[in-house]
Amino acid sequence: MLRNCEECNRIFSHPTRTLCNECYEEAQRSFKAVKEYLVENPGASVARVAKETEVPVEIIYEYIQEGRLDVIPKDAVLKCAICGTAINVGRVCTKCRDDLRSTITTEQGKSRDSLRSRSRVHTLDTIRGNKKD
């Protein structure tokens, strides 16, 4: 599939990636640099990691949110996108994630029940229609 690279806007072909080969390789080098620096300097701050690896702070926070780093900078602070509670990884805290899951499950159950009742009524109407003939 042909697409434009999210980073440099060059046209490339890949079934799943959003980055061209050059940008993908650069992203991999950046991640490897951050990961290795944190393994060697586990107490480093986010600003220090960014300065030493020349990887922007925003990218380092993306790595943390994605859960890709085994060692996290000592001052990394992530907050739940819904309630603002401090979290270690991801975008949503456990409580909000559970609330979302229960809401989705409840809504799916309601829509299934309404579909079943509609299909039964349709079936009964069809049966009744056949009996009239």
The model's pLDDT over 41-90, given as tens digits with 9 standing for 90+, comes to 988 999 999 999 999 999 998 998 888 888 888 888 888 888 988 887 78
Please give the residue range of the domain that contains residue 112.
93-133
In a domain, 103, yes or no: yes
Lowest mean pLDDT among 12-16, 94-98, 107-111: 107-111
Q: Does 129 fall in a domain?
A: yes
Does 98 fall in a domain?
Answer: yes
Please report whether residue 114 resides in a domain. Answer: yes
- Domain assignment present for residue 121? The answer is yes
Which secondary structure element, helix H or strand E, spans residue 65, and what is its range? Answer: helix 57-66
Q: How many CB atoms lie within 10 A of CB 5?
A: 18
Structure confidence at residue 120 as a pLDDT band (50, 70, 90): low
What's the one-letter identity of residue 127? Answer: I
| Residue 120 is assigned to a structural domain of this protein | yes
Q: What is the pTM of this model?
A: 0.64
Q: Is 7's pLDDT higher than 50?
A: yes
Q: What proportion of the chain, given as a percentage, has pLDDT over 90?
A: 42
User: How far apart are alpha carbons 49 and 35 in whole angstroms?
Assistant: 10
Total number of domains in the chain: 1
For CA atoms 58, 20, 33, 91, give the dihedral sign.
positive
Distance CA 117, CA 125 (A): 12
